């Protein structure tokens, strides 16, 4: 199991995968908006998206868990 964490504080702008999707390493999971920039947050390992813990528009802090990938 692999946790995808926010590397900085920001708003969740877009969620680009869905629960059950198979994702590759480095594939974008969500796009955060921080300081007027779009920051893609990617999976560190390939696997299946088990859970997405945020919704579009949510505010996340650095280190918050965004999604869980099952490898």
- Cβ nearer to another protein, comparing 18 with 37: 37
At its nearest, how many Å lie between another protein and the CB of residue 9? Answer: 4
Distance (Å, whole) CA 48 – CA 46 = 7
- Cβ nearer to another protein, comparing 20 with 35: 35
Distance (Å, whole) CA 36 – CA 24 = 27
**Site for another protein, rule CB under 8 A:** 7-11, 34-37, 39, 42, 62
At its nearest, how many Å lie between another protein and the CB of residue 68? Answer: 21
Q: Among 56, 38, 41, 48, which Cα is nearest to 4's? A: 41
């Amino acid at each position: 199991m692999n946790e995808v964490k926010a590397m900085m504080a920001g708003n969740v702008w877009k969620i680009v995968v869905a629960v059950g999707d198979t994702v590759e390493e480095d594939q974008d999971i969500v796009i955060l908006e921080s300081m007027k920039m779009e920051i893609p947050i990617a999976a560190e390992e390939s696997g299946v998206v088990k859970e997405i813990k945020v919704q579009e528009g949510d505010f996340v802090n650095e280190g918050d868990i965004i999604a869980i990938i099952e490898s």
